[in-house]
Structure 1
Amino acid sequence: MQDMGEAGEACPFEFNFDEKTFKVGDTVSYRVSGSLDGFPFVGTLVEVHEDYVMIAGDASEPDTLYRGTRESRPLVDESQI
């Protein structure tokens, strides 16, 4: 998310990249496999489990959740999108 705006412009999000401290409500940068690989996505953690997280990725559709891996930038399978 760095260097995507004007010179010196800060990212408007504050991310938690430490999967060991993930908690509900954290903002995370997540990835999507397949054709969307390489694009950064922003979401909010709504569930945190030992080996996966549930992410709300679209504020306009709060009931739509994506299951992601529990790592610094969770990976969501493209089939969920």
Structure 2
Amino acid sequence: MEGMGDAGETCPFEFNFDPATFKVGDTVSYRVTGSLDGFPFAGTLLEVHDDYVVIAGDLNDPDVRYKGTRESRPVVDQSQV
């Protein structure tokens, strides 16, 4: 999300990009496959497993949850969105 605002403006999020240290409550930058590829999304980790994470897709709706890969910027399949 760097460079997306005005000059001198900082990102309002603090992301964890280290999958080895992911924990519930961390904010991550994630990607979505398909037509949304290339757009940055921010979400909060709800679950952390050995090979995947569960991301809150909408903090106002707890039923919106996405399963993503466990890597520095998790990948969510577009079919979940």
> TM-score scaled by structure 2?
0.98
Aligned residues: 81
Structure 2 residue runs of 5 or longer lacking an equivalent are none
Q: Identity of aligned pairs, percent?
A: 75
**TM-fit CA distance, 1:24:** 0.2
Cα deviation code 1:37-58 (max 9, x no counterpart) = 0000000000000000000021
**TM-fit CA distance, 1:59:** 1.3
Q: Within 5 Å, which residues of 2 pair with 1:41-56?
A: 41-56=41-56
**What is the SS of the residue equivalent to 1:55?**
strand
Q: Within 5 Å, which residues of 2 pair with 1:11-26?
A: 11-26=11-26
User: Match for residue 31 of structure 1?
Assistant: 31
Matched, 1:8 2:8: yes
**In structure 1, what is the Cα distance between the partners aligned to 2:73 and 2:21?**
13
Q: What is the letter of the counterpart of residue 21 of structure 2?
A: T
**In structure 2, what is the Cα distance between the partners aligned to 1:32 and 1:53?**
14
**In structure 1, what is the Cα distance between the partners aligned to 2:6 and 2:62?**
30
Q: What is the letter of the counterpart of residue 29 of structure 1?
A: S
**What is the SS of the residue equivalent to 2:8?**
coil
4+ runs of 1 displaced by more than 4 Å? none
**What is the SS of the residue equivalent to 1:29?**
strand
Structure 1 residue runs of 5 or longer lacking an equivalent are none
